[in-house]
Structure 1
């Protein structure tokens, strides 16, 4: 990926369009938002694939990410908690729990940050 400076933001061209990143929230996505998004969406994609392979029928998955940051500079992310809301008929809690355990193990973004950011996951059936 290549980035170019444009005022207060760095810009890159991605397959789905331009991505503008800046520490200033008025100029683009903040870097921590992209990091958390990567962890959440990677986990969600892996979770979906595992559920499909295990033939666990679901109709929707929503993910809420709670982020904990160090209050002192440089305000690094210290923890990310992902809460999955899974909708579907006849969902079994033990199967969803097992799928989430596999998700943690197989998500490349979680595995990339696990030694520096604590990533935890919970779920509820809706």
Structure 2
């Protein structure tokens, strides 16, 4: 990836399109937003694969990410809590919990940051949307 400097941001061209990143949300995606998005979406994608491999059907997955940053430091991300809402699954909470454990161990982005950012996960099931 190559980033080119603009007046208020940096830009790169990727397969899907242009990505503009800035410390100011008026000019692009903020770096911490991309970090949190990467962790949440990687986890969601791996969870999807794990559920499918275990033949657990569902209709939708939603992820809410809560972020804690250290204002006393350089405002670094210290904690991310992911809350998964699994809609339309016909399974037990124990099976979902086990799937989340497998997900965390197999998500390359979570594993990349696990020594510097504490990541916790919870879930709820909604049987019918």
Q: TM-score, normalised by structure 2?
A: 0.95
Flag as ranges the 4+ runs of structure 1 deviating above 4 A: none
Structure 2: unaligned runs, 5 residues or longer: none
Aligned residues: 126
RMSD: 0.7
> Following TM superposition, by how much is the alpha carbon of 1:68 offset from its aligned partner in structure 2, in angstroms?
0.3
- TM-fit CA distance, 1:89: 4.2
Q: Is the 8 A contact 2:89 2:125 kept in 1?
A: no
Q: Distance in 1 between matches of 2:44 and 2:11?
A: 26
Name the structure 2 match of 1:53. Answer: 53
Q: Which residue of 1 is the match for residue 16 of structure 2?
A: 16
1:9-33 deviations in whole A, cap 9, x for unaligned?
Answer: 0000011110000001100000000
Task: Name the TM-score, length of structure 1 as normaliser.
Answer: 0.98
Kept in 2, the 8 Å contact 1:58–1:91? The answer is no
Q: Which residue of 2 aligns with 1:62?
A: 62
